[in-house]
Structure 1
Amino acid sequence: MNDGTVTLHWLVVRQDDNGHRYRVGSYATRAEAEKIADSLGGRGAQRMYWVERVGPSGTAGD
């Protein structure tokens, strides 16, 4: 697709101390998403941040 839009295939996801998962942001590249996840990773006792790829149908997966 070359209509000037950017597809955001990479998500940063956070899981809090109670196991709840939240989408933090969507990014065009894995490197960009990992940079954000790494910068957030040190905050909070057991909060975890990671990167997931969103498939073509809008579902998470590779």
Structure 2
Amino acid sequence: MNESTISLPWLVIRQDDNGNRYRVGRYATRAEAQRIADGLDATGHKQLYWVERIGQHAQSADGTRN
């Protein structure tokens, strides 16, 4: 881990209609990342957005492990 991983451990992830996943941004707190994900979800696009912590196993939007 480097210094940026420690200070910005929360990711917002987007998954498009084809199942491709992209990191939208990194944030210092879960609350901040969730606020961003919720705001993006509210735009009405069909992509899925969720929050995960660096180092955790990836989870799909329905909460199941990949």
TM-score, length-normalised on structure 2? 0.71
Which structure 2 segments of 5+ residues have no match? 1-5, 58-66
Runs of 4+ in structure 1 over 6 Å off: none
Work out the number of aligned pairs and report it.
51
Partner of 1:19: helix, strand, or coil? Answer: coil
Query: What residue is the counterpart of 1:27 in the other structure?
Result: 27
Judging by fraction of residues, say which structure has more helix: 2
Partner of 2:26: helix, strand, or coil? Answer: strand
| Superposed CA offset, 1:8-42 (max 9, x none) | 00000000010000000000000000000000013
Which has the larger Rg?
Answer: 1
Query: Superposition RMSD on alpha carbons, in Å?
Result: 1.5
Identity in percent:
63
TM-score, length-normalised on structure 1? 0.75
Which structure 1 segments of 5+ residues have no match? 1-5, 56-60
Distance in structure 2 (CA, Å) of the matches to 1:8 and 1:42: 24
